[in-house]
Amino acid sequence: MSDAEAELPAPFAEALAYVHSHRDGEVRIDAVKDNFAYLWIGSIAKNQSSETPGGWIRLPLAFPYANPHGLVTREALRSSGERLVSDGHNPNHDMCAPVRGVGGAHYYSWTWENAPQLRSPQDIVGVVQWYERRIRLG
């Protein structure tokens, strides 16, 4: 457990443990900036073998009482039609800064507005799936 993970609020830590046990690939906190953690999900992808998986979800430390706000990736994302995802795409944005040192270069400013209501730490799994759908939709 990293130092950042040791100081997480209990519901966030519970969410982290839950996603660890329900997702393949690496799951870790790479940075905490203000009220958000950068949660690396190694397997986040739109389910196509050609792409490079992985991304950082900006997850609020107050999860599930606050919403995820944005995704940072190493490479520009492509939708299911292989078109570059343009919606909310901000290359080299300030929001990438906390994870720039580990390759964070593309910020997708997708908020949780109009997304399913978050009620429990276990909803973290649905959050990852929602971001994957968001990538597919482009």
Give yes or no for a contact between 54 and 74, defined as CB atoms under 8 angstroms apart: yes
Task: Give residue 22's region: left, alpha or beta (phi > 0; psi -120 to 50).
Answer: alpha
Q: Could you count the other beta carbons within 10 Å of the beta carbon of residue 76?
A: 13
Distance CA 101, CA 65 (A): 29
**Closer to other proteins at the Cβ: 42 or 115?**
115
Distance of CA 53 to the CA centre of its chain: 12
**Closer to other proteins at the Cβ: 37 or 45?**
37
**Closer to other proteins at the Cβ: 47 or 111?**
111
Least distance (Å) from other proteins to the CB of residue 125? 19
Alpha helix stretches (DSSP H) within the chain? 3-6, 10-22, 97-100, 124-137
In angstroms, how far apart are the furthest CA atoms of the chain? 41
Amino acid in the structure at residue 122: Q
Least distance (Å) from other proteins to the CB of residue 129? 19
**Closer to other proteins at the Cβ: 79 or 112?**
112
Least distance (Å) from other proteins to the CB of residue 78? 27
Least distance (Å) from other proteins to the CB of residue 46? 25
Q: Which residues bind other proteins (CB under 8 A)?
A: 9-11, 33-36, 60-62, 65-67, 69, 94, 111-113, 117-119
**Closer to other proteins at the Cβ: 112 or 130?**
112
Least distance (Å) from other proteins to the CB of residue 53? 26
